[in-house]
Amino acid sequence: MNVVFDLGAVLFAWEPTRLVQAHLAPHAPTEAAAAALGRALFHHDDWTSFDCGTRALGDSIARMSARLSLPAEALHAMLDTLGERLEPIDVTVAMLEELIAHREAGQPLRLYYLSNMPSPYARAIERQHAFMRRFDGGVFSGDVKFVKPDREIYEVLAMRHALDPAQTVFIDDSAANVEAARAFGWQAIHCTTPATLASQLQRYLPVSTTLSVSNPKLRA
């Protein structure tokens, strides 16, 4: 079985609204305004072109600043070192560690990531988090110039690692990315609550691969 993880909002916290509140509060005085500004920042070509490695961060920030009348200095403070500040989600990292233990015990299990993430942020989390080096492989959008939900990025991972679609389950917080994976022939889980992901994933795993984090009785 191949388990393919998205990273943002699955293994690492990704909260655009909180970022905006922390760095651009004068421009978004309410939570609703911060959420709207987060969408305007991160759901636009200014960001996705940086995400997929076709535009440098400085250029993206200049465009965001001009388009949304935001101070470039605040955008740099928010985005320049964001990769170093991404925090792991403890419950899903614990689940990943269990899967790694099962794999190392000889279970027929392979672990991959497929993430929309700019190359500078990717390099930062690779340096800072040892569990990133324990995957069997993976693809960052910034390295391959494709982003989810484009079919091509799924193809890159599948071809590199000869993934059997019937034996592949994909996890992502984006419904569009999940649907794209299903259209590609993979099984997929829409992860909206990291705390319940282990129980969702358990249904796809071999009987011999039991996740204690999915069963409170096993954790006691």
3-state secondary structure the chain: CEEEECCECCCECCCHHHHHHHHCHHHCCCHHHHHHHHHHHHCCHHHHHHHCCCCCHHHHHHHHHHHHCCCHHHHHHHHCCHHHHCCECHHHHHHHHHHHHHHHCCCCCEEEEEECCCHHHHHHHHHHCHHHHHCCEEEEHHHHCCCCCCHHHHHHHHHHHCCCHHHEEEEECCHHHHHHHHHCCCEEEECCCHHHHHHHHHCCCCCCCCCHHHCHHHHC
Segment 52-68, tens digit of pLDDT:
999 999 999 999 999 99
pLDDT (0 to 100) of residue 26: 97
| pLDDT band per the 50, 70, 90 thresholds, residue 212 | confident
pTM, full prediction? 0.94
Mean pLDDT on 13-32: 97
pLDDT (0 to 100) of residue 217: 46
| pLDDT band per the 50, 70, 90 thresholds, residue 213 | low
- On the question of pLDDT at 104 being above 90, the answer is yes
- On the question of pLDDT at 1 being above 50, the answer is yes
Segment 90-101, tens digit of pLDDT:
999 999 999 999
- On the question of pLDDT at 218 being above 80, the answer is no
| pLDDT band per the 50, 70, 90 thresholds, residue 196 | very high
